[in-house]
Structure 1
């Protein structure tokens, strides 16, 4: 297979099987396979775009794997996730070792008519990026593998009127457990998260100390500066502080606004422009929403 620097679009699970030489899937919307010490093919495409969800357990990964713009860290992590339309980049050489684990793929159409079709958007780990592989204990890994086996057993059966209901119920259970384990990971990695919180607050303090703020910071830009995804940053902040990343940004913004209102002679409009607002009325609205007073009212009362 000829390698290319252009991503190969895989619109269906059948496309995936054709590309990698797997048998046709028994269910066009689902595939689950156990990987038992299979050597990675060195003729794999460098970049692929899956138009479906994937959940994978990988062991013995020694090569870089990039999801979106960041690298997955599998040095200790074992489980990863991807959502449709994201680019996977794999860097391999001739010394790439054999890997083992599980690989589950499912098309959005499989879950579209079920509650999971809407709930899956709440599982932020599908869009996580650098250093966000899920670390499993031995008991947790066994539990996840048991559900994978249940899905595979149902997948191997002849399709009938209940097949999709049963498979989606197993899939729902799998993702619920993954959600639990991710939240546990936030707790057990509290020291690392607190370090990230310190960096986050320091970045915002420095940002708002600029003489000229050209635009208000947004969550995506701040997360990129900290080398994490926006979802991960917000989840971490909610777990550690109870507030989202956007709420923290607004908190720093309002504190800086109060300082300017009380220590400078800038007009309200000038204050808004200095803080990066294009339209002063948006500044007035946000300030009142957060403090209960208009900027002018705050300045007058102090």
Structure 2
């Protein structure tokens, strides 16, 4: 028997969001800050939703888990999490918010439309992280963000004038800049875990490239899936520890294998490209030259 498609609700505006979850109505049409201590009496809805909004949330003392994307996440310890428009969310019957604390900043993408931050926000990797990769804050960092949240809350509660958007977006950009700093601090202070991830990545890449015969080109998504992290998190971690992102590591590995094949086999340039997973040999030649300064043919000739 064919299963019927699951129904879910789309939350397109800040008002949609506050109404769905029973939060106070927003004082500003494009942004609101929610004090989670004041929501303890609410019953969390379990209806799956798709939010077309940006959300930054510091949730503490919540028992149970929420499902964001395809993963459950436990907020009992208190972490800062970031969600971009289009992310699926689903609660569960076992969530207990009777002791919840923290805050939630919700804003619509239209708030940023005419500002450089509207384009820049996509460069913040934490908005595309899987939820189990949330930011763990120190007490001092939490106080810094709390001060910024108070400033944002104060501003959007004022009467809207010609400068309101400018001020709110400026404050939001400062908040994101601090979050970016704290994320990179997290990579540096949690070196044991991150170095373990780096070691596992290198082991997987070495094993992948050691396979004989034609293989598909290695992708960032493939290794992120194998390591159970998101592509953005993996690239940020590698860039922090090694100076290169995941794609650069993959290219380096491919070029090293290509050099080995060019010098130790009689495969033609095209055959070498196919062996490495390139569908079009000219792409292989272009990448090889960009990384070594020589075409594959010139490299083979120079080693004779």
TM-score exceeds 0.5: yes
How many Å apart are 1:5 and its aligned residue? 4.4
Q: 1:114 to 1:43 in 2, by over 3 A?
A: closer
Contact 2:61/2:97 (<8 A) preserved: no
Aligned CA-pair RMSD: 2.0
Contact 1:213/1:275 (<8 A) preserved: yes
How many Å apart are 1:292 and its aligned residue? 1.5
How many Å apart are 1:104 and its aligned residue? 0.6
Q: Which residue is 1:184 aligned to?
A: 185
Q: 1:235 to 1:94 in 2, by over 3 A?
A: closer
Between 262-271 and 51-60, the greater mean CA deviation after superposition: 262-271
How many Å apart are 1:24 and its aligned residue? 2.8
Is 1:263 equivalent to 2:264 in the alignment?
yes
Query: C-alpha deviations, 1:178-197, integer Å up to 9, x for none?
Result: 11111111110112111111
Gaps of 5+ in 1: none
Q: 1:130 to 1:166 in 2, by over 3 A?
A: closer
Query: C-alpha deviations, 1:32-72, integer Å up to 9, x for none?
Result: 11111643755513422110101111001332233223344
Q: Which residue is 1:154 aligned to?
A: 155
How many residues in Structure 1 have an aligned counterpart in Structure 2? 299
Contact 1:33/1:152 (<8 A) preserved: no
Q: 1:100 to 1:213 in 2, by over 3 A?
A: farther
Contact 2:63/2:74 (<8 A) preserved: no
Contact 1:72/1:133 (<8 A) preserved: no
Q: Which residue is 1:31 aligned to?
A: 32
CA distance in 2, matches of 1:250, 1:46: 43
SS of corresponding position for 2:100? strand
Query: C-alpha deviations, 1:234-254, integer Å up to 9, x for none?
Result: 111111011111110001111
Q: 1:261 to 1:24 in 2, by over 3 A?
A: same
Q: Which residue is 2:282 aligned to?
A: 281
SS of corresponding position for 1:36? helix
The TM-score normalised by the length of structure 2 is: 0.91
Q: How does 1:10-159 map to 2 (within 5 A)?
A: 10-36=11-37, 38-39=39-40, 41-42=42-43, 44-72=45-73, 74=75, 76-93=77-94, 97-159=98-160
Query: C-alpha deviations, 1:94-153, integer Å up to 9, x for none?
Result: 756531110110111111112222221221111111431111111111111111111111
The TM-score normalised by the length of structure 1 is: 0.92
Q: Which residue is 2:237 aligned to?
A: 236
Gaps of 5+ in 2: none
How many Å apart are 1:232 and its aligned residue? 0.9
Is 1:170 equivalent to 2:171 in the alignment?
yes
Q: Which residue is 1:246 aligned to?
A: 247
Q: Which residue is 2:222 aligned to?
A: 221
Q: 1:73 to 1:221 in 2, by over 3 A?
A: farther
Contact 2:209/2:254 (<8 A) preserved: yes
Contact 1:42/1:93 (<8 A) preserved: no
SS of corresponding position for 2:140? helix
